[in-house]
Amino acid sequence: MFFDGFTLDRIDVGEVTLRVRHGGTGAPLLLLHGHPRTHATWHKVAPLLAQRFRVVCPDLRGYGQSSKPLTDADHAPYSKRAMAADMLALMRALGHDVFAVAGHDRGSLVAFRTAMDHPAAVTALIAMDGLPVVEHLERCDARFAAQWWHWWFFGQTDKPAERVISADPDAWYTATAEHMAPEAWDDFREAIHDPATVHGMLEDYRAGLGIDRRHDEEDRRAGRRVQCPTLVLWSSRDDLEDLYGDPVKIWRDWADDVRGRPVDSGHHMAEEAPEAVASAIGAFLDPHVS
């Protein structure tokens, strides 16, 4: 069953209201989706982890059915710092002062920022198919630009991508329902057909090219690092390792305790390889949460 045993809530965290599902018993674990998904991307993984953890799955601000705040010239309302503050407030509202956090794709940027900005709250970090945004941008070459050209397209504001995407969302987001429950598929399609959500998702990328990069650079100059144990997972049938080599090596510039491995999957590993993802997260967290 779809998120069997989970509660669906809308929780006011200050600047925004987040749609969130939560359930299970044990140490708290926050799961953060990527683009263009919603929390429903975890519908196979969350019930497996809920046997051992208290699992919390929100829609990030701008995504799904969470709030879409007005933006500004710096796109700061969609910065990972703002999203990380949402996550801290959400977990406190649910009664969790400390927690582990896992994020996939864009969610990995929010998970990283949560660990960096709120080290006393985060017991463990799992980054899936992602690096700190500055690492992506400093390694940008012709291959990156050819394969991830959408970063630059999404980043435009003079000729905004929203008009192109919303003209035919199904042609732009060429996902299939193969690895998704009907409820997750419907949730995904509802999101991509909502122009306000498309705008919110693109604001995430616009923040990534500017203010998020500056926050990473400031942390690096100040010598700030992730204080908690860190697990890096990447899809073996996606392009992260092809573009950058060993992601664990890159993450070791940001955290002292890092381990990682590939998952036999395409990019959306929580949908395509849920047992492997849940097993890797659970095995990593067991020594690091209480």
Q: Where are the alpha helices (DSSP H) in the chain?
A: 45-49, 80-93, 106-117, 133-138, 142-147, 150-155, 162-167, 169-172, 182-192, 195-209, 211-222, 240-244, 247-251, 269-272, 274-285
User: Quick count: other Cβ atoms within 10 Å of Cβ 50?
Assistant: 22
Domains, the chain, in order of start with CATH, read 7-161+199-285 (3.40.50.1820)
Nearest to 19 by CA among 55, 66, 61: 66
User: Quick count: other Cβ atoms within 10 Å of Cβ 216?
Assistant: 26
Q: Is 136 a catalytic residue?
A: no
> What's the pLDDT at 50?
97
User: Which residue in the list 118, 150, 267, 288 is annotated as catalytic?
Assistant: 267
Instruction: Report the percent of the chain where pLDDT is more than 70.
Output: 99
> What's the pLDDT at 24?
97
- Give the tens place of pLDDT for each residue, 67-101: 999 999 999 999 999 999 999 999 999 999 999 99
> What's the pLDDT at 289?
66
> What's the pLDDT at 286?
86
Q: Is 212 a catalytic residue?
A: no
User: Which residue in the list 86, 105, 129, 219 is annotated as catalytic?
Assistant: 105
Low-confidence residues of the chain: pLDDT under 70: 288-290
> What's the pLDDT at 1?
86
> What's the pLDDT at 287?
79
What is the chain's mean pLDDT, rounded? 96
Q: Are 123 and 174 in contact (CB under 8 A)?
A: no
Tell me the C-alpha distance between 266 and 8, whole Å: 28
